[in-house]
Amino acid sequence: MASNTVTSEPLDVLQETDDDGGNDLSGLEDEDDDEEIMDLDEDDSTDESQDGEQHTPQAKKPHRSAQSKFPLAWKSPEDADVAPPAIRFWPARPPGVQLNSADRHTPLELFKLFFSPDAVATLCQNTNKQAARNIEQGCKYKWTALTVDEFYKYIGLIYFMALIKLDHIRDYWRQNNIFSIAFPRTVMTRDRYRTISWNVHMSNPDKDKENDIRRGTPQYDRLFRVKPLMDRIREACKTFYHPQRNLSVDERMVATKAKTGMTQYMKRKPTKWGFKLFVMADSSNGYTVDFAIYTGKESFYTGRGISYDTVMSFMDRSFLGSGYHVYMDNFYTSPKLFRDLHAQKFGACGTYRDNKKACKDCPSTTLNALSRTSCRGDFRWIRDGPLVFVKWMDAQEVSVCSTIHSAFNGETIQRKVKTTKGNWDRQKFSCPTPVLKYNEHMGGVDLSDQLIQYYTAQQKTMKWYRKLFLHFLDIAATNAYILHKELASKQLRDALTHKVFMEELTAQLCGMSQKIPSKRTSCDHVPVPVAKLSTDVRQVASQVLDTEKVALTLKEERKRGKTGYPFFSFYQIWK
């Protein structure tokens, strides 16, 4: 899980290149080719005067570069900048959980908001059809019709395996062994669990054939096998929670090496091989608001590029409202995108790369620009209407664009610096406002990934669409836990820890009950004097230990430590 925070060591936001690697990822760059403009005179034809004298035609005006609209030089920190007019925050719904905050919801009730009984009934129907089809093709195993309650128990076992990790699935049903676990046997037999895993299906198997026939044509849908459940999960994510003002857009990898044509290789990601998901998350808590699975550049038809289309599809004004702030990394940032978002009453902030094709409209003047000898904390900026471009020198040069902030409001940031004596000391450096706010609000997707990885449902499987099914389970459980925390905060009560929430969800899915451990009350361990204190410094101890007399002196001026209690000094007096 790559970090998006602008830090000194290492500086990931500058080195993160999400569109490099294999599988022809060069096509992921934005393709915002502006039309070439040529200013001509109104009359370029040869005109003869009445006296027959021929005039020399005026020369055509040279093509004006896109950089001519920018100032000739970068501005210094001493130059004042004026932020664009603030966009009024007008959400379509009150931000937060879209449930009655007075009601208490169990983990299972919150989970069923995403995996509703209707959605599970459709899964059971398609899974039963897939099992019957496999039996007709010669698979030899016993199969009975899968029910909704049994499928919920199957999901509960998946979460149980996420909580307790073993090397092989069969190890959960081992008997007569010191490492045997009794719980899975009480829920479902091993063979039943495995046959459900082999046949779990999200789409209608009969319609799969029709879609497979269209392979190689524009009508072929690569996500046909996961789309029914994926659409339900996406709709539920947006229905039961409305995000706060600050959003972040980033990529997420679901590990797999399946040869599906959608598998991506990203060498700078912790998960290098897998399905690539574009995710929009709430920066305040990591809630997954919306997501999309990358299937190839041919699935985007606007001609603006995949990064442009992804952000514009997420920032739906009919769903969100207006006045939202979205933060993104250099894979998405482009002046064209930021201007279009600003026209729709959305603010945007993100890092950018000068050498990226999509940022060809970014300022490239070198007058008064930062150099390699620039000191840490120095920065330059240029404003172009609502857009402000900032270059800040940290351990490396950082480039940020924003339509939300002014260039600098006097903020500082702390960094560890090695002194001449070899020690590390914290020092304050000036930091532009866009960089500071980017660090503050960009981590929404990273936080979501972190919560998912704690108790991920991912398992090894031979079917690519089952990897995505397990990821949908991860999204549902994580979002349900975030809803639980938000509701507990409104009700002024303590929320369950993530581990306890998952344990309770697993037990409820499997039809079991367990006692939630009570929260341990903390107590202070403070030394209490055993004798009455006196201000007489000549007072000596009343007991003698091994020919030693121990004297206790209380200093006249009471010295207080970090705990706020008096400081006592002890010494020994030898005979």
Whether residue 226 lies inside any domain: the answer is no
Whether residue 176 lies inside any domain: the answer is yes
Same domain, 456 and 547: no
Same domain, 116 and 205: yes
Per-residue pLDDT of 81-105, as tens digits, reads: 888 899 999 999 999 999 998 899 9
**HEC states along 11-66?**
CHHHHCCCCCCCCCHHHHCCCCCCCCCCCCCCCCCCCECCCCCECCCCCCCCCCCH
Task: Tell me the two tokens of residue 44.
Answer: 């370029």
* Dist. CA 208–CA 204, nearest whole Å: 6
Which residue, 481, 509, 537, sits at the end of a domain?
509
Per-residue pLDDT of 230-255, as tens digits, reads: 999 999 999 999 999 999 999 999 99
pLDDT score of 305 = 85
pLDDT score of 53 = 46
* Dist. CA 286–CA 247, nearest whole Å: 9
Q: Residue 424: how many CB atoms within 10 A of its CB?
A: 8
pLDDT score of 572 = 44
* Dist. CA 423–CA 128, nearest whole Å: 67
Same domain, 121 and 168: yes
DSSP string, 484-534: HHHHHHHTTSPPPPHHHHHHHHHHHHTT---PPPPPPPP-------SS---
Q: What is the extent of the structural domain holding 171? A: 107-213+450-509
Whether residue 96 lies inside any domain: the answer is no
Count CA atoms closer than 13 A to 349's CA, side-chain side. 24
Same domain, 458 and 553: no
Same domain, 134 and 179: yes
The Cα-based distances of 299 to 162, 217, 292, 310 in angstroms read 34, 12, 12, 11
pLDDT score of 335 = 92
pLDDT score of 71 = 64
- How many domains does the chain fold into? 2
Q: Residue 224: how many CB atoms within 10 A of its CB?
A: 18
Same domain, 550 and 476: no
Q: What is the DSSP letter of 421?
A: T
Whether residue 467 lies inside any domain: the answer is yes
Cβ–Cβ under 8 Å, residues 451 and 259:
no
Whether residue 45 lies inside any domain: the answer is no
Same domain, 118 and 184: yes
pLDDT score of 3 = 52
Q: Which residues touch 523 (CB under 8 Å, ≥6 apart)?
A: none
Helices (H), 69-147: 107-111, 117-136
Residue ranges of the chain whose pLDDT lies below 50: 1-2, 8-57, 59-68, 544-564, 567-575
Whether residue 146 lies inside any domain: the answer is yes
Same domain, 475 and 564: no
Same domain, 539 and 488: no
pLDDT score of 538 = 61
Same domain, 479 and 542: no
Same domain, 207 and 138: yes
Whether residue 81 lies inside any domain: the answer is no
pLDDT score of 15 = 40
Whether residue 288 lies inside any domain: the answer is no
